[in-house]
Amino acid sequence: MKQLDERLRSHYPQLSPQEQRIADFVFDHFDDLISYNSAELARLSGVSKATVSRLFKRLGYEKYKDMRDELR
């Protein structure tokens, strides 16, 4: 979990406003993140699923599932 948190914090200033919305949601709901698929995270963050995919690729994950696997 710490790795994701560090990645988000280090990239945060360069993120688009939409990507920052996702990051803010993740910071506020970090303990629940593993239970959300990418569509749910997009809906809860108020962004598109494509934006979720772009953010996690920018953070170095091949796909959203790779981030979830890292949290397990």
Total structural domains in the chain? 1
pTM: 0.91
Assign residue 39 the CATH number of its domain: 1.10.10.10
pLDDT tens-digit series, residues 1-34: 579 999 999 999 999 999 999 999 999 999 999 9
CA distance 72 to 43: 22
Sign of the C-alpha dihedral computed for residues 44, 69, 27 and 31 taken in this order: positive
Q: Rounded to an integer, what distance in angstroms lies between the CA atom of residue 56 and that of residue 63?
A: 7
Phi, psi (degrees; rounded to nearest 5) at 16: -70, 165
**Structural domain boundaries enclosing 24:** 2-71
CA gap 40, 2 in Å, rounded: 22
Q: Which residue has the higher pLDDT, 22 or 69?
A: 22
